[in-house]
Amino acid sequence: MMQHAIIKRILDASVYDVAVETPLEKAPSLSARLDSSILFKREDLQTIFSFKIRGAYNKIRLLAQKGVPGVVTASAGNHAQGVALSARQLGLQACIVMGRATPQIKVNAASRLGAEIVLHGDTYDEAAIYAADLALERNLAYVHPFDDLDVIAGQGTIGMEILRQHTGPISAIFVPVGGGGLIAGVGSYVRYLRPEVKIIGVEAEGSASMTEAIAAKRRVRLPLETLDLFADGTAVRQVGKESFRLARRCIDEMVTVNVDEICAAVKDVFDDTRVLAEPSGALSVAGVKRYVAEHGPMDGSAVAIVSGANVNFDRLRHISERAESGEYREILLGVEIPEEPGSFLKFANQIGSRSITEFNYRFDASSAENPARVLVGIQTSDDEDRRELIRSLRSHYPVTDLSDNEVAVLHVRHMVGGRSSGVSGEQLYRFEFPERPGALLEFLTRLGDRFNITMFHYRNHGAAEGRVLAGIALRRGDKGAFRSLMQGIGYRHWNESDNPAYRMFLD
């Protein structure tokens, strides 16, 4: 009975006043590489460049029929634009609550569509609580991003289109998962009409709330301190109650992918479409690649829902850097070679004709008798070539593979040469600052003059969080006070003092 009810909602959903039926396109380059028929469902071609317009409009259309004066929601992303556009189309007022760290480009996008923007809190949870309070105070209807049956039904129209557009065999549909609304809608419809088609959800490794929920057979809440926000459109600490209730009945498998794989998938989408998907938008493509790598080529077609293309231009540099690692094309190694003339030439001969993407070294006269430490990026053709190169180099030199080391990839590769021999008690910390004016000043003000900063590196990646690496000189009695200070400031942080990249190049 429950399945019939959601199918009826999907069939009754009305979205095409603002949404378009997006094409289902063959991805020729990726299909050839994977020896499978890969199809992209191009939700990046919607008016707001995201599938979110479907669910938002279907919900707000029904609310308008009930005579509500307006709507409110909490979102800093695609849902915010969907709500703003839908409300404008239906002649309702819209209020969008966003966190204070929301990039200005996202604030402007919703504002241009006529919504009132309220900045409140530092996290989505704080913004959502405030939005719920505003709904009561102003007599507005709250439109949840994913945990609502009418929103889910609107997203389910994607499943209707896929089955109408491709009548041949489909092995699986790969669906990006955040709060679960998209996979609940698409999965319910496809499972009802084509039960032989696998429904495979894809999540980022650091925000796999649906994977954890299915394993536990109940919704779980991921710790904020470990939540990976790179794929911000799907970085949800807990899936929705309604979406989990529906999705758990139709999901065949969950796949998790890492940041490098997501970035490589952004490049794959670009190669076949010349469109730059946002990280969450390319999540399903990364999932297809991981699935084929583990299970082999697909028998029927594999559909990957490219869910959005709202990517900040500033993020492209970071995505491009990580895309090479996602294809195992570039590996990042820390290598110790003799500190003597001719060593570089011998080392280069061991690498052979492979392309070197970067080579970082600085002579340290104070330790000339010790080995030279080189940070080198090398292009490889595939995973086996990567392993063979490391085996070959290790037969001649001490080698540390730093390809998956966040400190090395985000920071150290840009800092090599900055060693210090006169610092006592240095501890290395990695931070995520809110990317907003005054965040650094707030940190330094709280730090005061008690703790000496010995090293600092920051790069803007176009995300809502600034990635910072800092050295702090701590005397023996300072560590407890510093830990308390870090807990009080609320910025996510990790102690990286034992990180091998730090020990090799900065300590």
Residue 224's pLDDT is 80
Residue 326's pLDDT is 64
More confident of the two residues 164 and 419: 164
Cα 247 from Cα 179, distance rounded (Å): 10
Give residue-wise pLDDT tens across range 356-410.
777 777 655 565 567 878 888 888 877 788 889 999 999 999 999 998 888 888 8
Element (H or E) spanning 96, and its range?
strand 93-98
Candidate from 231-240, 401-410, 463-472 with smallest mean pLDDT: 463-472
245: pLDDT strictly greater than 90 = yes
Q: What is the 3-state secondary structure (H, E, C) of 461-494?
A: CCCCEEEEEEEEECCHHHHHHHHHHHHHHCCEEE
Topology classification of domain 2-42+149-324: Rossmann fold (3.40.50)
Element (H or E) spanning 48, and its range?
none
Give residue-wise pLDDT tens across range 63-78.
999 999 999 999 878 9
Separation of first and last alpha carbons in the chain: 64
**Per-domain residue ranges of the chain:** 2-42+149-324, 52-142, 328-404, 426-505
Residue 1's pLDDT is 47
In this prediction, residue 481 has a pLDDT band, given cuts at 50, 70 and 90, of confident
DSSP string, 249-300: TT--EEEEE-HHHHHHHHHHHHHHHS----TTTTHHHHHHHHHHHHH-S-SS
Residue 279's pLDDT is 92
Topology classification of domain 52-142: Rossmann fold (3.40.50)
More confident of the two residues 423 and 479: 479
Residue 99's pLDDT is 81
488: pLDDT strictly greater than 80 = no
Q: Do domains 2-42+149-324 and 52-142 have the same CATH topology?
A: yes
Give residue-wise pLDDT tens across range 3-57.
789 999 999 999 999 999 999 999 999 999 999 999 999 999 999 999 999 999 9
Taking the domain 328-404, which CATH number applies? Answer: 3.30.70.260
Alpha helices in 35-123 (DSSP H): 52-65, 78-90, 104-112
pTM of the model: 0.79
Residue 199's pLDDT is 98
Cα 445 from Cα 438, distance rounded (Å): 10
353: pLDDT strictly greater than 80 = no
Distance set, CA 468 to CA 206, 317, 319, 497 (Å): 19, 17, 18, 14
Characterize 451-484 residue by residue with b for buried, 16 or more Cβ atoms within 10 angstroms of its Cβ, and e for exposed.
bbebbebeeebbbbbbbbbbbbebeeebeeebee
Q: How many CA atoms lie within 13 A of 317 on its CB side?
A: 7
Contact by Cβ (8 Å): 467, 432: yes
Cα 180 from Cα 50, distance rounded (Å): 15
Q: Which residue has the tokens 């952004």?
A: 266
Residue 26's pLDDT is 97
94: pLDDT strictly greater than 90 = yes
Q: Does domain 426-505 have CATH number 1.10.10.60?
A: no
In this prediction, residue 438 has a pLDDT band, given cuts at 50, 70 and 90, of low
Please give the positions annotated as active site.
Answer: 52, 307
In this prediction, residue 475 has a pLDDT band, given cuts at 50, 70 and 90, of confident
More confident of the two residues 245 and 506: 245
421: pLDDT strictly greater than 70 = no
